[in-house]
Structure 1
Protein backbone atom coordinates (compact mmCIF):
# COMPACT_ATOMS: atom_id res chain seq x y z
CA UNK A 1 0.00 0.00 0.00
CA UNK A 2 1.31 3.39 -1.02
CA UNK A 3 0.82 6.13 1.60
CA UNK A 4 1.29 9.80 0.74
CA UNK A 5 1.32 13.14 2.55
CA UNK A 6 2.13 16.48 0.91
CA UNK A 7 3.65 14.92 -2.21
CA UNK A 8 5.74 12.50 -0.19
CA UNK A 9 5.26 8.73 -0.29
CA UNK A 10 5.88 5.87 2.13
CA UNK A 11 5.64 2.10 2.18
CA UNK A 12 3.02 1.04 4.67
CA UNK A 13 5.71 -0.47 6.90
CA UNK A 14 7.74 2.76 6.77
CA UNK A 15 4.86 5.06 7.69
CA UNK A 16 5.55 5.37 11.41
CA UNK A 17 6.22 7.96 14.13
CA UNK A 18 9.70 9.46 13.94
CA UNK A 19 10.19 9.13 17.70
CA UNK A 20 8.36 6.07 19.03
CA UNK A 21 8.30 4.21 15.69
CA UNK A 22 4.66 3.18 16.15
CA UNK A 23 2.69 2.84 12.94
CA UNK A 24 0.72 5.88 11.81
CA UNK A 25 -1.47 3.95 9.38
CA UNK A 26 -5.10 5.02 9.90
CA UNK A 27 -4.08 7.11 12.92
CA UNK A 28 -3.94 10.87 13.46
CA UNK A 29 -0.49 12.39 13.23
CA UNK A 30 1.30 15.73 13.02
CA UNK A 31 4.25 16.95 11.01
CA UNK A 32 7.20 18.85 12.44
CA UNK A 33 10.25 19.81 10.36
CA UNK A 34 9.76 17.07 7.76
CA UNK A 35 9.16 14.44 10.44
CA UNK A 36 5.86 12.71 11.18
CA UNK A 37 4.88 12.23 14.81
CA UNK A 38 2.00 10.46 16.50
CA UNK A 39 -0.22 12.75 18.55
CA UNK A 40 1.24 11.50 21.85
CA UNK A 41 4.84 12.21 20.85
CA UNK A 42 3.93 15.53 19.27
CA UNK A 43 2.03 16.61 22.39
CA UNK A 44 4.81 15.56 24.74
CA UNK A 45 7.41 17.36 22.66
CA UNK A 46 5.67 20.50 21.48
CA UNK A 47 2.31 21.05 23.18
CA UNK A 48 1.78 23.32 26.18
CA UNK A 49 1.86 21.89 29.67
CA UNK A 50 -0.91 22.76 32.11
CA UNK A 51 0.35 25.10 34.82
CA UNK A 52 -1.84 23.31 37.38
CA UNK A 53 -1.68 19.56 36.71
CA UNK A 54 1.55 19.70 34.65
CA UNK A 55 0.05 17.38 32.04
CA UNK A 56 0.09 18.02 28.31
CA UNK A 57 -2.70 20.10 26.84
CA UNK A 58 -3.66 18.02 23.82
CA UNK A 59 -4.02 19.71 20.43
CA UNK A 60 -7.62 20.57 19.68
CA UNK A 61 -8.63 20.80 23.34
CA UNK A 62 -9.61 24.11 24.86
CA UNK A 63 -6.99 25.81 26.97
CA UNK A 64 -6.83 28.98 29.04
CA UNK A 65 -3.81 31.28 28.78
CA UNK A 66 -2.59 34.12 30.98
CA UNK A 67 0.83 35.81 31.03
CA UNK A 68 2.59 32.99 29.23
CA UNK A 69 1.03 30.19 31.28
CA UNK A 70 -1.54 27.68 30.05
CA UNK A 71 -4.20 25.59 31.79
CA UNK A 72 -6.70 22.93 30.86
CA UNK A 73 -10.10 24.56 31.00
CA UNK A 74 -11.05 22.30 33.91
CA UNK A 75 -7.81 23.14 35.77
CA UNK A 76 -8.23 26.92 35.53
CA UNK A 77 -10.15 27.32 38.78
CA UNK A 78 -10.52 29.81 41.61
CA UNK A 79 -8.03 29.07 44.39
CA UNK A 80 -10.65 29.77 47.08
CA UNK A 81 -13.90 28.21 45.87
CA UNK A 82 -12.32 25.72 43.43
CA UNK A 83 -14.91 26.54 40.76
CA UNK A 84 -13.88 26.86 37.08
CA UNK A 85 -13.19 30.46 36.11
CA UNK A 86 -13.72 29.96 32.38
CA UNK A 87 -14.12 33.29 30.61
CA UNK A 88 -15.25 35.16 33.73
CA UNK A 89 -13.20 37.97 35.24
CA UNK A 90 -10.54 36.95 37.73
CA UNK A 91 -7.85 38.58 39.86
CA UNK A 92 -4.35 37.08 40.29
CA UNK A 93 -2.65 37.30 43.68
CA UNK A 94 0.49 35.57 45.00
CA UNK A 95 0.65 33.22 41.98
CA UNK A 96 -2.95 32.14 42.53
CA UNK A 97 -6.10 33.11 40.61
CA UNK A 98 -9.32 34.15 42.30
CA UNK A 99 -12.79 34.76 40.92
CA UNK A 100 -13.92 38.30 41.68
CA UNK A 101 -16.43 37.41 44.46
CA UNK A 102 -13.85 35.30 46.32
CA UNK A 103 -11.16 37.94 45.97
CA UNK A 104 -13.48 40.58 47.38
CA UNK A 105 -14.40 38.39 50.34
CA UNK A 106 -10.81 37.49 51.16
CA UNK A 107 -8.73 40.54 50.31
CA UNK A 108 -10.69 43.65 49.37
CA UNK A 109 -11.28 46.43 51.90
CA UNK A 110 -14.88 47.27 52.70
CA UNK A 111 -16.25 50.77 52.34
CA UNK A 112 -17.09 52.22 55.76
CA UNK A 113 -20.23 53.80 54.30
CA UNK A 114 -21.91 51.08 52.18
CA UNK A 115 -20.03 48.06 53.62
CA UNK A 116 -19.33 46.73 50.11
CA UNK A 117 -15.90 45.73 48.79
CA UNK A 118 -13.59 48.34 47.28
CA UNK A 119 -12.09 46.68 44.21
CA UNK A 120 -10.52 49.69 42.47
CA UNK A 121 -9.54 53.16 43.57
CA UNK A 122 -11.19 54.34 46.75
CA UNK A 123 -10.13 57.02 49.23
CA UNK A 124 -8.96 56.97 52.82
CA UNK A 125 -10.38 59.42 55.35
CA UNK A 126 -9.56 59.24 59.05
CA UNK A 127 -7.76 55.96 58.33
CA UNK A 128 -10.94 54.37 57.00
CA UNK A 129 -11.60 53.24 53.39
CA UNK A 130 -14.40 54.68 51.25
CA UNK A 131 -15.60 54.25 47.69
CA UNK A 132 -15.05 57.52 45.82
CA UNK A 133 -18.77 57.69 45.11
CA UNK A 134 -19.58 57.13 48.81
CA UNK A 135 -17.25 59.82 50.13
CA UNK A 136 -19.58 62.80 49.76
CA UNK A 137 -20.28 66.11 51.46
CA UNK A 138 -22.57 65.75 54.47
CA UNK A 139 -24.49 68.80 53.30
CA UNK A 140 -24.93 68.74 49.51
CA UNK A 141 -23.92 65.07 48.88
CA UNK A 142 -21.44 65.98 46.13
CA UNK A 143 -18.37 63.74 45.82
CA UNK A 144 -15.38 65.06 47.74
CA UNK A 145 -12.71 62.94 46.06
CA UNK A 146 -10.18 65.25 44.44
CA UNK A 147 -11.84 68.34 45.98
CA UNK A 148 -10.83 70.52 48.91
CA UNK A 149 -12.93 69.76 51.97
CA UNK A 150 -12.94 70.11 55.72
CA UNK A 151 -14.71 68.44 58.62
CA UNK A 152 -16.69 69.20 61.73
CA UNK A 153 -17.67 66.67 64.40
CA UNK A 154 -16.06 63.97 62.18
CA UNK A 155 -18.40 64.79 59.28
CA UNK A 156 -16.85 65.88 55.98
CA UNK A 157 -18.08 68.98 54.14
CA UNK A 158 -17.21 70.70 50.90
CA UNK A 159 -15.92 74.22 51.51
CA UNK A 160 -19.12 75.81 50.26
CA UNK A 161 -21.39 73.89 52.64
CA UNK A 162 -19.00 74.29 55.56
CA UNK A 163 -18.82 78.04 55.08
CA UNK A 164 -22.59 78.39 54.74
CA UNK A 165 -23.25 76.28 57.82
CA UNK A 166 -20.46 77.16 60.22
CA UNK A 167 -18.21 79.99 59.04
CA UNK A 168 -18.46 83.46 60.54
CA UNK A 169 -19.82 86.18 58.29
CA UNK A 170 -17.78 89.17 57.24
CA UNK A 171 -19.12 92.39 58.75
CA UNK A 172 -18.23 94.14 55.51
CA UNK A 173 -19.52 91.97 52.65
CA UNK A 174 -21.59 89.50 54.77
CA UNK A 175 -20.03 86.53 52.93
CA UNK A 176 -18.59 83.62 54.96
CA UNK A 177 -15.02 83.77 56.25
CA UNK A 178 -13.75 80.23 55.84
CA UNK A 179 -10.42 80.68 57.59
CA UNK A 180 -9.21 77.77 55.43
CA UNK A 181 -6.15 77.63 53.26
CA UNK A 182 -4.48 80.52 55.08
CA UNK A 183 -7.34 82.98 54.52
CA UNK A 184 -6.56 86.13 56.51
CA UNK A 185 -9.20 88.05 58.41
CA UNK A 186 -9.54 90.72 61.09
CA UNK A 187 -11.42 90.16 64.33
CA UNK A 188 -12.60 92.96 66.63
CA UNK A 189 -15.23 92.86 69.37
CA UNK A 190 -16.93 89.68 68.15
CA UNK A 191 -17.00 90.92 64.56
CA UNK A 192 -14.84 89.67 61.70
CA UNK A 193 -13.81 91.08 58.33
CA UNK A 194 -11.99 89.71 55.33
CA UNK A 195 -8.69 91.55 55.01
CA UNK A 196 -9.94 93.10 51.76
CA UNK A 197 -13.15 94.26 53.46
CA UNK A 198 -11.52 95.92 56.48
CA UNK A 199 -11.74 99.44 55.05
CA UNK A 200 -12.81 102.88 56.23
CA UNK A 201 -16.55 103.27 55.74
CA UNK A 202 -16.14 106.78 54.30
CA UNK A 203 -12.95 106.87 52.23
CA UNK A 204 -12.45 103.09 51.71
CA UNK A 205 -8.84 103.24 52.89
CA UNK A 206 -7.58 99.82 53.99
CA UNK A 207 -7.27 99.74 57.76
CA UNK A 208 -5.27 96.50 57.93
CA UNK A 209 -2.33 97.19 60.23
CA UNK A 210 -3.55 100.75 60.90
CA UNK A 211 -5.31 102.48 63.74
CA UNK A 212 -9.06 102.96 63.37
CA UNK A 213 -12.14 104.30 65.13
CA UNK A 214 -15.64 102.89 65.40
CA UNK A 215 -18.95 104.65 64.97
CA UNK A 216 -21.81 102.32 65.76
CA UNK A 217 -21.31 99.44 63.25
CA UNK A 218 -18.88 101.36 61.05
CA UNK A 219 -15.11 101.52 61.16
CA UNK A 220 -13.30 104.71 60.18
CA UNK A 221 -9.75 105.78 59.58
CA UNK A 222 -8.44 108.38 62.07
CA UNK A 223 -8.77 111.13 59.45
CA UNK A 224 -12.45 110.43 58.69
CA UNK A 225 -13.22 109.83 62.35
CA UNK A 226 -11.60 112.93 63.79
CA UNK A 227 -14.89 114.84 63.82
CA UNK A 228 -16.78 112.15 65.75
Structure 2
Protein backbone atom coordinates (compact mmCIF):
# COMPACT_ATOMS: atom_id res chain seq x y z
CA UNK A 1 0.00 0.00 0.00
CA UNK A 2 1.43 3.41 -1.06
CA UNK A 3 1.91 6.06 1.68
CA UNK A 4 1.06 9.67 0.73
CA UNK A 5 4.18 11.81 0.49
CA UNK A 6 4.75 14.83 2.78
CA UNK A 7 7.42 16.98 1.18
CA UNK A 8 8.78 20.54 1.53
CA UNK A 9 6.80 22.81 -0.79
CA UNK A 10 10.04 24.38 -2.09
CA UNK A 11 12.85 21.80 -2.16
CA UNK A 12 10.55 18.72 -2.30
CA UNK A 13 12.54 16.85 0.36
CA UNK A 14 10.50 14.62 2.63
CA UNK A 15 9.38 16.21 5.88
CA UNK A 16 8.58 12.95 7.71
CA UNK A 17 10.20 13.10 11.14
CA UNK A 18 11.50 16.63 10.52
CA UNK A 19 10.58 20.05 11.84
CA UNK A 20 8.60 22.15 9.37
CA UNK A 21 6.66 25.45 9.11
CA UNK A 22 3.30 25.98 7.46
CA UNK A 23 2.86 29.08 5.31
CA UNK A 24 -0.40 29.62 3.47
CA UNK A 25 -1.22 25.94 4.15
CA UNK A 26 2.00 24.79 2.44
CA UNK A 27 4.75 23.07 4.51
CA UNK A 28 8.39 24.19 4.31
CA UNK A 29 11.49 22.69 5.82
CA UNK A 30 13.23 25.07 8.25
CA UNK A 31 16.12 25.77 5.88
CA UNK A 32 13.88 26.70 2.95
CA UNK A 33 11.53 28.78 5.09
CA UNK A 34 14.37 30.81 6.59
CA UNK A 35 16.02 31.43 3.23
CA UNK A 36 12.73 32.45 1.64
CA UNK A 37 10.85 34.31 4.35
CA UNK A 38 13.01 35.14 7.37
CA UNK A 39 13.68 38.80 8.10
CA UNK A 40 17.27 40.05 8.24
CA UNK A 41 18.51 41.53 11.49
CA UNK A 42 19.37 45.26 11.27
CA UNK A 43 22.29 44.82 13.65
CA UNK A 44 24.10 41.62 12.65
CA UNK A 45 22.64 41.32 9.12
CA UNK A 46 21.89 37.63 9.67
CA UNK A 47 18.51 35.96 9.14
CA UNK A 48 16.22 35.85 12.15
CA UNK A 49 15.54 32.13 12.36
CA UNK A 50 12.37 30.37 13.35
CA UNK A 51 13.73 29.58 16.81
CA UNK A 52 14.48 33.28 17.55
CA UNK A 53 12.30 36.17 18.61
CA UNK A 54 11.80 38.70 15.83
CA UNK A 55 11.55 42.23 17.27
CA UNK A 56 10.33 44.86 14.84
CA UNK A 57 10.05 48.65 14.73
CA UNK A 58 8.88 50.61 11.67
CA UNK A 59 9.38 47.69 9.24
CA UNK A 60 12.88 46.96 10.61
CA UNK A 61 13.77 43.76 12.44
CA UNK A 62 16.24 42.59 15.08
CA UNK A 63 17.24 39.48 16.98
CA UNK A 64 16.30 39.85 20.61
CA UNK A 65 19.99 39.92 21.58
CA UNK A 66 20.71 42.56 18.91
CA UNK A 67 17.97 44.94 19.98
CA UNK A 68 20.06 47.37 22.07
CA UNK A 69 20.92 51.05 22.45
CA UNK A 70 23.20 52.36 19.72
CA UNK A 71 25.38 54.21 22.24
CA UNK A 72 25.48 52.35 25.56
CA UNK A 73 24.60 48.93 24.07
CA UNK A 74 22.14 48.16 26.87
CA UNK A 75 19.19 46.00 25.83
CA UNK A 76 16.04 47.83 24.78
CA UNK A 77 13.78 44.78 25.12
CA UNK A 78 10.62 45.80 27.04
CA UNK A 79 12.07 49.27 27.66
CA UNK A 80 11.14 52.69 26.29
CA UNK A 81 13.42 53.99 23.55
CA UNK A 82 13.70 56.73 20.95
CA UNK A 83 14.88 56.80 17.34
CA UNK A 84 17.30 59.35 15.92
CA UNK A 85 18.77 59.18 12.40
CA UNK A 86 17.89 55.47 12.04
CA UNK A 87 19.55 54.63 15.38
CA UNK A 88 17.71 53.39 18.44
CA UNK A 89 18.64 54.94 21.77
CA UNK A 90 17.60 54.30 25.35
CA UNK A 91 15.81 57.26 26.94
CA UNK A 92 18.84 58.21 29.02
CA UNK A 93 21.23 58.36 26.06
CA UNK A 94 18.67 60.15 23.92
CA UNK A 95 18.01 62.72 26.64
CA UNK A 96 21.69 63.40 27.22
CA UNK A 97 22.30 63.81 23.52
CA UNK A 98 19.16 65.34 22.01
CA UNK A 99 16.39 66.22 24.46
CA UNK A 100 15.52 69.84 25.09
CA UNK A 101 15.78 71.36 28.53
CA UNK A 102 12.81 72.84 30.36
CA UNK A 103 12.91 76.64 30.26
CA UNK A 104 11.59 76.75 33.83
CA UNK A 105 13.33 74.00 35.85
CA UNK A 106 16.27 73.55 33.43
CA UNK A 107 15.95 69.75 33.62
CA UNK A 108 15.82 67.42 30.62
CA UNK A 109 12.41 66.81 29.06
CA UNK A 110 12.42 63.02 28.71
CA UNK A 111 11.19 61.36 25.49
CA UNK A 112 7.61 60.22 25.73
CA UNK A 113 6.61 62.96 28.17
CA UNK A 114 4.39 65.85 27.13
CA UNK A 115 6.09 69.15 26.60
CA UNK A 116 4.93 72.65 25.76
CA UNK A 117 6.72 74.73 23.12
CA UNK A 118 6.50 78.45 22.46
CA UNK A 119 8.86 80.70 20.48
CA UNK A 120 11.69 78.17 20.43
CA UNK A 121 11.52 77.36 24.15
CA UNK A 122 10.28 74.16 25.79
CA UNK A 123 8.68 73.38 29.13
CA UNK A 124 7.53 70.32 31.04
CA UNK A 125 3.74 70.38 30.95
CA UNK A 126 3.70 70.90 34.74
CA UNK A 127 6.27 73.73 34.49
CA UNK A 128 4.37 75.78 31.89
CA UNK A 129 2.28 77.74 34.37
CA UNK A 130 0.52 81.09 34.70
CA UNK A 131 2.80 83.62 36.37
CA UNK A 132 -0.08 84.97 38.47
CA UNK A 133 -2.10 81.93 39.64
CA UNK A 134 0.74 79.38 39.26
CA UNK A 135 -1.61 76.84 37.64
CA UNK A 136 -0.53 74.78 34.57
CA UNK A 137 -1.75 76.42 31.38
CA UNK A 138 -1.86 73.18 29.37
CA UNK A 139 -3.76 73.59 26.10
CA UNK A 140 -5.69 76.67 27.29
CA UNK A 141 -5.19 80.09 25.72
CA UNK A 142 -2.55 82.30 27.27
CA UNK A 143 -1.10 85.80 26.82
CA UNK A 144 2.65 86.56 27.07
CA UNK A 145 3.79 89.80 28.70
CA UNK A 146 7.29 90.90 29.72
CA UNK A 147 8.73 87.37 29.25
CA UNK A 148 6.02 85.92 31.49
CA UNK A 149 2.95 83.91 30.51
CA UNK A 150 -0.54 84.48 31.89
CA UNK A 151 -3.75 82.51 31.53
CA UNK A 152 -6.47 84.70 30.02
CA UNK A 153 -8.50 85.26 33.25
CA UNK A 154 -5.37 86.33 35.17
CA UNK A 155 -4.19 88.61 32.38
CA UNK A 156 -7.57 90.31 32.26
CA UNK A 157 -7.59 90.82 36.03
CA UNK A 158 -4.07 92.25 36.10
CA UNK A 159 -3.66 94.16 32.85
CA UNK A 160 -6.78 94.52 30.72
CA UNK A 161 -8.76 97.78 30.67
CA UNK A 162 -12.28 97.54 32.05
CA UNK A 163 -15.35 98.76 30.22
CA UNK A 164 -16.92 101.85 31.83
CA UNK A 165 -20.38 100.43 31.16
CA UNK A 166 -20.27 96.72 32.13
CA UNK A 167 -17.06 96.79 34.24
CA UNK A 168 -15.73 93.70 32.43
CA UNK A 169 -12.30 93.39 30.80
CA UNK A 170 -11.79 94.60 27.24
CA UNK A 171 -9.67 91.90 25.56
CA UNK A 172 -10.04 92.84 21.88
CA UNK A 173 -10.95 96.05 20.11
CA UNK A 174 -12.94 98.51 22.17
CA UNK A 175 -13.84 102.20 21.90
CA UNK A 176 -12.38 105.20 23.71
CA UNK A 177 -14.78 108.07 24.44
CA UNK A 178 -13.93 110.98 26.72
CA UNK A 179 -10.69 109.15 27.55
CA UNK A 180 -12.62 106.17 28.91
CA UNK A 181 -12.71 102.60 27.47
CA UNK A 182 -15.86 100.82 26.32
CA UNK A 183 -16.67 97.51 24.66
CA UNK A 184 -17.97 98.19 21.15
CA UNK A 185 -21.23 96.49 22.06
CA UNK A 186 -21.53 98.62 25.23
CA UNK A 187 -20.98 101.96 23.53
CA UNK A 188 -24.59 102.67 22.49
CA UNK A 189 -26.92 105.58 21.89
CA UNK A 190 -28.49 106.85 25.11
CA UNK A 191 -31.81 107.11 23.31
CA UNK A 192 -32.32 104.11 21.00
CA UNK A 193 -29.51 101.85 22.38
CA UNK A 194 -28.04 101.17 18.92
CA UNK A 195 -24.26 100.67 18.76
CA UNK A 196 -22.38 103.85 17.96
CA UNK A 197 -19.04 102.26 17.04
CA UNK A 198 -18.18 103.29 13.47
CA UNK A 199 -21.21 105.64 13.33
CA UNK A 200 -21.48 109.43 13.51
CA UNK A 201 -22.75 110.56 16.89
CA UNK A 202 -22.81 113.57 19.19
CA UNK A 203 -23.25 114.17 22.89
CA UNK A 204 -25.26 116.24 25.33
CA UNK A 205 -24.60 116.45 29.07
CA UNK A 206 -21.81 113.86 28.54
CA UNK A 207 -24.27 111.30 27.12
CA UNK A 208 -23.73 109.99 23.59
CA UNK A 209 -26.55 110.01 21.02
CA UNK A 210 -26.89 108.87 17.44
CA UNK A 211 -27.71 111.78 15.11
CA UNK A 212 -31.31 110.69 14.72
CA UNK A 213 -32.03 110.59 18.45
CA UNK A 214 -30.12 113.81 19.10
CA UNK A 215 -32.05 115.69 16.44
CA UNK A 216 -35.40 114.33 17.59
CA UNK A 217 -34.69 115.16 21.21
CA UNK A 218 -32.73 118.41 21.14
CA UNK A 219 -32.33 119.99 17.70
CA UNK A 220 -34.40 123.03 16.73
CA UNK A 221 -36.86 122.60 13.87
CA UNK A 222 -36.42 124.40 10.58
CA UNK A 223 -38.99 127.19 10.21
CA UNK A 224 -39.27 126.22 6.56
CA UNK A 225 -39.48 122.41 6.34
CA UNK A 226 -40.00 121.70 10.09
CA UNK A 227 -37.26 119.03 10.04
CA UNK A 228 -34.57 119.11 12.78
CA UNK A 229 -31.46 121.18 12.16
CA UNK A 230 -28.59 119.15 13.56
CA UNK A 231 -25.82 121.63 12.89
CA UNK A 232 -23.45 118.63 12.61
CA UNK A 233 -20.98 117.71 9.92
CA UNK A 234 -20.85 121.24 8.49
CA UNK A 235 -24.62 121.59 8.07
CA UNK A 236 -25.30 125.28 7.26
CA UNK A 237 -28.29 127.12 8.67
CA UNK A 238 -29.67 130.64 9.08
CA UNK A 239 -30.77 132.02 12.45
CA UNK A 240 -33.05 135.05 12.81
CA UNK A 241 -35.14 136.21 15.78
CA UNK A 242 -34.89 132.87 17.59
CA UNK A 243 -35.94 131.00 14.45
CA UNK A 244 -33.70 128.84 12.28
CA UNK A 245 -33.79 127.62 8.71
CA UNK A 246 -31.73 125.20 6.66
CA UNK A 247 -29.81 127.19 4.05
CA UNK A 248 -31.88 125.51 1.36
CA UNK A 249 -35.09 126.48 3.15
CA UNK A 250 -34.31 130.19 3.70
CA UNK A 251 -36.33 131.40 0.73
CA UNK A 252 -38.78 134.19 -0.06
CA UNK A 253 -42.27 133.15 1.00
CA UNK A 254 -43.80 134.44 -2.25
CA UNK A 255 -41.32 133.88 -5.08
CA UNK A 256 -39.13 131.17 -3.39
CA UNK A 257 -35.95 133.09 -4.23
CA UNK A 258 -33.07 132.07 -1.97
CA UNK A 259 -32.38 134.79 0.57
CA UNK A 260 -28.99 133.45 1.69
CA UNK A 261 -26.56 136.39 1.50
CA UNK A 262 -29.33 138.78 0.40
CA UNK A 263 -31.35 141.42 2.13
CA UNK A 264 -34.91 140.49 3.15
CA UNK A 265 -38.04 141.87 4.79
CA UNK A 266 -40.45 140.33 7.26
CA UNK A 267 -44.22 140.41 7.26
CA UNK A 268 -45.65 138.82 10.36
CA UNK A 269 -43.80 135.42 10.34
CA UNK A 270 -43.03 135.44 6.63
CA UNK A 271 -39.63 136.24 5.11
CA UNK A 272 -39.76 138.13 1.80
CA UNK A 273 -37.22 139.32 -0.75
CA UNK A 274 -37.06 143.15 -1.25
CA UNK A 275 -38.98 142.88 -4.53
CA UNK A 276 -41.91 140.95 -3.05
CA UNK A 277 -41.86 143.05 0.10
CA UNK A 278 -41.71 146.50 -1.53
CA UNK A 279 -45.44 147.09 -1.05
CA UNK A 280 -45.23 146.40 2.69
* TM-score of the two chains, using structure 1 as the length reference: 0.88
Superposition deviation, residue 162 in structure 1: 1.0
Change (3 A) 1:3 1:223: closer
Indicate the SS of the match to 2:215.
helix
Q: For residues 152-163 of structure 1, what are the structure 2 equivalents within 5 Å?
A: 152-163=204-215
* Structure 2 residues without counterparts, runs of 5 or longer: 1-52
Corresponding residue number in structure 1 for 2:177 = 125
Change (3 A) 1:181 1:4: closer
How big is the alpha-carbon RMSD for the aligned residues of Structure 1 and Structure 2?
2.6
Superposition deviation, residue 80 in structure 1: 0.3
Indicate the SS of the match to 1:187.
strand
Looking at structure 2, the residues matched to 10 and 220 of structure 1 have their Cα atoms a distance apart, in angstroms, of 112
* Structure 1 residues without counterparts, runs of 5 or longer: none
Change (3 A) 1:89 1:208: same
Change (3 A) 1:214 1:98: same
Change (3 A) 1:37 1:223: same
Larger Rg: 2
Contact 2:82 2:111 in 1 (8 A): no
Indicate the SS of the match to 1:163.
helix
Change (3 A) 1:145 1:6: closer
Change (3 A) 1:127 1:227: same
Change (3 A) 1:177 1:108: same
Q: CA deviation digits over 1:30-80, x for unaligned, max 9?
A: 343344422111123223332222222222222223333322211121110
**Bigger RCO (CA 8 Å, 6+ sep):** 1
Contact 2:116 2:124 in 1 (8 A): yes
Q: CA deviation digits over 1:142-199, x for unaligned, max 9?
A: 1111111111111111111111111111100111111111111111111111000000
Change (3 A) 1:8 1:167: closer
Between Structure 1 and Structure 2, the one with more strand by share is 1
Looking at structure 2, the residues matched to 111 and 83 of structure 1 have their Cα atoms a distance apart, in angstroms, of 27
* TM-score of the two chains, using structure 2 as the length reference: 0.73
Contact 2:82 2:88 in 1 (8 A): yes
Which of residues 108, 124, 130 in structure 2 aligns to 1:72? 124
Indicate the SS of the match to 2:232.
coil
Identify the range of structure 1 (196-205 vs 1-10) with the bigger mean alpha-carbon deviation: 1-10
Looking at structure 1, the residues matched to 240 and 78 of structure 2 have their Cα atoms a distance apart, in angstroms, of 105
Indicate the SS of the match to 2:266.
strand
Q: CA deviation digits over 1:101-145, x for unaligned, max 9?
A: 111110011111111111111111111111111111111111111
Which of residues 90, 108, 111 in structure 2 aligns to 1:59? 111
Identify the range of structure 1 (55-64 vs 194-203) with the bigger mean alpha-carbon deviation: 55-64
Change (3 A) 1:16 1:225: same
Change (3 A) 1:212 1:26: closer
Q: How many residues align?
A: 228
